[in-house]
Amino acid sequence: MGDLELLLPGEAAALVRGLRSFPLREMGSGGWNQQHENLEKLNMQAILDATASQGEPIQELLVTHGKIPTLVEELIAVEMWKQKVFPVLCRLEDFKPQNTFPIYMVIHHEASIINLLETVFFHKELQKQAELMEFEIASKALSVLRYITDCVDSLSLSTLNRMLSTHNLPCLLVELLEHNPWSRREGGKLQQFEGGHWQTVAPSEQQKLSKLDGQVWIALYNLLLSHEARARYCLTSFAKGQLLKLQAFLTDTLVDQLPNLAGLQGFLAQLALTETQPPKKDLVLEQIPEIWERLERENRGKWQAIAKYQLRHVFSPSEQDLRLQARRWAETYRLDVLEAIAPERPRCAYCSAEASKRCSRCQNEWYCCRECQVKHWEKHGKACVLAAQGDRAK
């Protein structure tokens, strides 16, 4: 594994072997929290390994021990909890949690799993927090989708049919490019969503292809130029009209950055001269979403009972329980590891240059030199003292 190791190889193997699925009512429990911490450690170690180009040890462990299906089931279970249990929980009369962090961790669990899956595939108040996280999860899901399209010729017929017919992914991806939800204008400046937050794009960088735009274009290329996918995709008049919209986006600047898109240009030129097809009515036996169906069947009619159980036994911890859990989270999210996997280096709070020194009292602000720290003290001093007092009180 990498130079900075969070887990030794034997520890990583033990954590992977121990991964299991939890019933919905146990989400947020002690055992569930322990697994969440283990997943976070595996996630951070996978990012460290990818950054250091140290092979794919976490991926190999997950495949060897057959734990990818477990992660997928956990991902689906959290989504079901958010849809079926969380709204009921919030409507309970006695829902007055002293601390919302345990609930936040359940919501955050989905992001942890999708992050781990994305890293593995790459290497081959509450409501506001939930909304921001949903957007980040969606961007991660787009990356995972693109990796799936890399293998489009080897996908099962039922999977390919759901992608091309049930969900019509080519047309859906065209709409994403049209609406470009990961870009916005704030105060006259262009911002793009990357690395989990919105970043202002310098004028000189605005013609540069963003990561999410690139994922969509690669997915479209894989779906439209794959022999297997083209044989299965029904080019109706609607689909043809939608796909031809791509011609307006395929500028020379874009093709220079992704040269493979020249092949997509040729496909679209040919498509413009192609006759459309009537909708197909082929009989395809599809696999049903087994995990979702099973979880819903097992818990149907029990959503309120699950919410009440969790309110009493999971989301109403004592002050001592919270302190113990906070200590465990602090051990899991080590600062040296978080800094190593951060997408950007810290910036000086005074001059915005790359920083290497942190305020020794509060540990919150970064500086490039002692001089900048002294100049910033007039602004930072009061917050620094309060933060330090709060740490001592803990």
Q: Which residue has the higher pLDDT, 180 or 388?
A: 180
- Please name the residues in contact with 244: beta carbons below 8 A apart, sequence gap of 6 or more: 268, 271, 272
Q: Which two tokens stand for residue 189?
A: 């400046």
Q: Quick one: pLDDT at residue 119?
A: 73
Burial call 259-281: b when 16+ CB within 10 Å, e when fewer: eebeebeebbeebeeeeeeeeee
> If DSSP codes are grouped into helix, strand and coil, which group holds residue 191?
strand
Q: Quick one: pLDDT at residue 95?
A: 85
**Phi, psi for residue 366 in degrees, rounded to 5:** -115, 150
DSSP state string for 160-223: HHIIIIIS-HHHHHHHHHHH-TTEEEETTEEEEEETTEEEEPPGGGTTSPPHHHHHHHHHHHHH
Alpha carbons 78 and 118: distance in angstroms, whole number: 17
Q: Is 389 exposed, middle or buried (0-12, 13-18, 19+ CB in 10 A)?
A: exposed
Band (pLDDT 50/70/90 cuts) for residue 153 is confident
- pLDDT tens-digit map of 316-358: 888 888 888 778 877 776 666 656 655 566 788 888 888 888 8
Q: Quick one: pLDDT at residue 1?
A: 45
